[in-house]
Every structure is written in structure tokens, then in C-alpha cells.
Chains A and B, each alone.
With several copies, the nearest count.
Chain A
């Protein structure tokens, strides 16, 4: 196994899937010659040529719309939207078509495409480069929405997303593109879409998060143990839609206490759905109200204040302590 960053691991996933299946086509702005602005598609064009790695004109609607046509034909396009802040340009193609063509054609066609896009704060980028708006996709019937939290699961989930017969929105937490390395096996590895994971076991409190927020969440969990001997169970959602509520419901049935963490704005955010599922399925086990630690209901500030905006271990700890002490 080699230690890889998430960028390298994603590149490996693409490379291997392109090799396995000549229907896999990578497309987007600057994904070819330039290798992607974050280098996720680095050197794919050298190995697979211009016909498998398409540098497209600057038009998100057409990137996604063309991918829909290719996918219906039977190819497996993986299109990159350079930043999630520019995926709203193609929102209608996803809502009007990608999410519906299977249903609208009564199963005759399907859209096995992936829309990859970096999201979230933490890299001191320009405006529109740091938002987290996974709800737009997660609320849209017909879509799947996946968010990895580290190199290894990023690679395995991207492979699954490419093979999935339905359209998958694949949000890549850019804050951890290069923040750390993990062992990633050269040998093929897949992970099921629609399944979350317990990444730390514990019986005192359940912490639910995903993406780049897993790191501060785990930090907080470690500190809870260290300082107070509290055993937090930490769940990494991995898939946002369809949401795997079984695992976190079971966990909260055991702990009775929960904190949900995300960087997306709070109101109508992902935590609301998670908390509501817990209300529906674990109400009688809840000892105290569930806390959510989230971005605020404001535009993501420019980067000098992004750390202040983003949840960090301390903010998560405050919430955990509240849940533990009330």
C-alpha cells in the first residue's frame, strides 16, 4: 500500500476505472492538459488520450447536459465541475433530467454519470469557492449524493459512484484534498453507496458528521475521552442521500445523546434531516435535545474569517458538553 493524499487517491480511482471500462469518460473545464485545477485528473490525458479526457469549453450546463446524453448512450461520464459554487449553473440539467430520465423513460434509459465537485471551506480561496450546499442535491429525488472523508474511502466511493447505474453527485471536501495521507491499496476497493460507518465506538454520546468535518469531530471525540473519559461513538455518513439512518438510529438508541456536525448553513441543512430521523426512530431513547454544530445562515465569509465560520473541535466540544451535561 502507498500513502496517498485524497487527490492522489481520487486520481487512482479514475485511472483504474478508465482502464477497467472504456466507457468511462472524464470531462470538464481544465481536466485534460492541465490535469484539473486541483490535479485530481492529473496525467489522465497522457494515458487515455483526448477522447477519454475532454477539456470542455467553459459551460457547466453543457458539461452536465452532454454527460447526460453520453450516459444514456451507455457511457459512464465523470464530469468535474470546477467548484461546487458553479454547479448551480447546471442545476436545472440535474433536476430536470439527470435525476429523472430513468423515471421519465419508465426505466428505458438511465443516467450512470458522476458529477464530481470540490466543496467546502478551508483552502483560503476566493468567493464562491467555499460553500457547502449538499442539501440542494440531497433533497432532489432520483439523485445519490456521496461525500468521502479521507483518501481511502474517497477512492473506494468514487469507484462505486462510477459503477452506479444512477446519477451520483460526488462532493469532494477540498480542505482535506492534501491535508493528510492514508494507505490506499493498489488493488481495487469499493465501498457501498448508502452506507455510513462507525469510525469510533462509544456508548456515551453519538457524534454524526461527514466530509472535512470528520477531522474536528474526531478530535473532539478524542479530547472528550482524554479529558473526561467520555466514550463518544462517531459516525461518518459517507452517503448523504439516500441517507442511511439505521446506523445512527441504533447508535443513539444506545447513547441517548447526539451531536450533528456539518459546515453547511444551519437552517434547512443536512442536520435537520438527521435529527428528524432520530426524532422519528429514536425519540424514546433521547435523554436531551440533539445539538447541531453547523455553518451559520450567512454567506461563507471571505477567507480571512473562514476559520471563524467553520465548526472546529472546540465548537464541537462545547456542543458535546452541553449534550452530556444537560
Chain B
């Protein structure tokens, strides 16, 4: 009975399929239909261009604060692409390209970031959650959704997103433990973009990887190159299949990088160097995927140019539609909606008093 090492059943693996140069590891290449490859590429492009455009709008004062996704498109799109439409999608706030992939309209994003609650506009047949701002708090919701799906004998899975910073929250811990104990079909996707506002990943936790945190729950954990959409897709696919077939949850760490500001209220110059950002420019997920697709012969320079302008038009017309729609969102009294299924008497009194105030004051006390 000497000191003995305890062997732990779960191992932590790392997957990378397309390297920085866009070179392929043939052995690991996932079998993705051409059509899906192209749709993914377009979605990445759209995500990137939309993000850039939002930044412009923000600088012009045409939208409020938002969280750019630039550089992380492969991480969240690759994961979301492994879902069925009927699966549950639970975002944090930096998965815009994946939200759009799942069906969210561009205009709803613009409207939301203009401070209108109406920017949340989830279709009746969609199982997508609105963005969740309190870091890590949404993780456990996915566990509840997944548990419910299994209870209802549906084979839906739930996928939930969060950042590297979120792994420090108690909610992360409790959520992963519950998922493992109840073996719920849920996929935990951590977008490790190396920063939580000004806090580098290296100071967020001393563990070598975030993926290994899965060991605390007896859960499979895997680290992937998050700028390699094939690797992310492959890992997510595997996790989704495991979950759907009753094999329980998985933690996926996507190693990526936040190329832009944390939000438009942030100034990264205060805490990180240009050199670091430059390093990551070389690892751009879109360029890498594009090279792969060209090499594979499913994409051409010509086609790319076509997609470019198609996507730009799509964005422009969404902006136009959003701006037109926002003009109709006049009534501040709408803020009383949706607090309860039925408005209780005291709230009715407040609403009526507010209506009288509005009437007295005319147009002047209106939304910004």
C-alpha cells in the first residue's frame, strides 16, 4: 500500500485538422458535403462582414455597445453546424455568426444592439435562446433543456457557449457536474479566445488547458484548434453524436482569439500588445478554410467575389430594414409587456399612470 498514482479514465485530447497554412490532415478530415462546406464558408464571410459593419455603425452612433466576434467564426459556427435545427442552441453573447446560421435575422441583431427589446424575436419554431450577458449563467439552462428533452424521449441535444472567463464562475462548475451526474445530452462549447476583457487566459486559471476541467466531472473533454473549422466541426459532431445516442455530455475547448475589442466600450491597447494580435492574424479561420476549399476545388476566386458582394448586399438591406422598422417601435409603454403572463393590478395602475403621463407630455418623453 505505498503511495500510488490513481489512473483517471478520461483523457484530454487535442484536435487540429487544417493547420495555419491551410494544410490538411487527411486522416482526420471530416466527411462534410460540399453544399454544407459552402454554406459554412458563406456564413463565416457573412459573420465577418456583418461584424465589421456593426463596428462601423457603432462608431457612427447608429447602434449601441456590442461584442464583436471577429476571428472566432470557426469556433462558434463549426460547433453550431453540428446541430440539427430542432436542437437547443444556448449562446453567450459572442456567437453572432452562429445565431445567424441558426436563423436569427441580421435586422434583429441591429435592433437589439439599438437597445430595443424587440431585437429579440425568436420564431415560434426555433429553439434558440436569446444572448445571455451574465457570464456563465446560461450553462446550466442547457443542462435543464437537455434533461427535459431526454425526459420527453426526444433526441434533441442542447449546445451551450461560453468564454474562457466563464470557466471561473461557479455556474460553470455546477452546470458541468449536473450534466455529468444526470448524463444529459449537452455539449459545452468554450470559446477560449484568450481574453476575458483584460484578463489573459493564463491568469484566469492555472490549469494547462480548459478542456481538462472536464476531468473534475468524469466527463470527456477535448481541446481543438478553434480557428480550424474542420477540427471544431469534427469535435462537435462527435460530441453531438455521443450526446444524442445517450452517451452524455462533452466539454469542448475551442482555442481561438478575440481579434477585436471586448465590446465597443473597451480599449484593448491598455492590456495587450499589437504583436500578439498580429500573431493571430496569421491564423485567420476564414483564410485557412478558404484555402482548403479552393484546394478542394469547391471554391474559386470568382465565386468568392460573388459571395462577397452578395453578402454585402444582404447586410445593407438588413440595415435598411432594421432602420425602417425601428421607426415604428415608438411606444415606450411597450416596456410593460411580457413581465407576467397576465398583468397584475398594481402594474396595471403603473402602466395607466405612465400612459397618462405620456399623453400629458406628448411626444417629448419618448424613446431615444
Contact segment of A4-12, A178-186, A205-213, A305-313: A305-313
Q: Name the interface residues of A290-308: CB closer than 8 Å to any CB of B.
A: 296-299, 301-308
Contacts of B204 in A (CB 8 A): 57-58
User: CA of A244 to CA of B278 in the docked complex: distance in angstroms?
Assistant: 57
Beyond A66-B147, A106-B122, A302-B115, is A243–B64 a contact (Cβ under 8 Å)? no
Task: Sort chain A's interface into a size bin.
Answer: 35 or more
Beyond A62-B177, A106-B118, A142-B339, is A33–B130 a contact (Cβ under 8 Å)? no
User: CA of A185 to CA of B324 in the docked complex: distance in angstroms?
Assistant: 50
Encode contact with A along B329-355: 1 for CB under 8 Å, 0 otherwise. 100101111111100111100110010
Encode contact with B along A75-117: 1 for CB under 8 Å, 0 otherwise. 1010000000110010011001100001111111110000000
Most buried by B among A61, A68, A302: A302
Beyond A65-B144, A305-B367, is A296–B347 a contact (Cβ under 8 Å)? yes
Least CB distance, B37 to chain A, in whole angstroms:
32
Contacts of B266 in A (CB 8 A): 37
Report if A72 contacts B (CB, 8 A): yes
Contact segment of A123-131, A148-156, A215-223, A254-262: A123-131
User: CA of A62 to CA of B270 in the docked complex: distance in angstroms?
Assistant: 25
**In this complex, what residue of B is CB-closest to A267?**
B346
Task: Sort chain B's interface into a size bin.
Answer: 35 or more
Least CB distance, A303 to chain B, in whole angstroms:
3
Contacts of B19 in A (CB 8 A): none
User: CA of A128 to CA of B130 in the docked complex: distance in angstroms?
Assistant: 14
Is the beta-carbon distance between A62 and B143 smaller than 8 angstroms?
A: yes
Q: Which of A97, A108, A125 contacts B122 (CB 8 A)?
A: A108
A-B contact pairs, 22 of them (CB 8 A): A56-B178, A57-B196, A59-B177, A60-B169, A62-B168, A65-B141, A68-B140, A70-B147, A92-B137, A97-B134, A106-B122, A124-B115, A126-B64, A164-B341, A245-B346, A297-B347, A297-B350, A298-B335, A304-B329, A305-B117, A307-B365, A308-B366
List 7 tightest A-B contacts by C-beta distance, closest first: A69-B144, A65-B140, A242-B344, A303-B115, A73-B148, A308-B332, A34-B198
Listed in ascending order, the chain A residues whose CB lies under 8 Å from chain B are 25, 29-30, 32-35, 37, 51, 54-62, 65-75, 77, 85-86, 89, 92-93, 96-97, 102-110, 124-129, 141-142, 144, 164-166, 194, 242-246, 266-267, 296-299, 301-309, 312, 314-315, 318
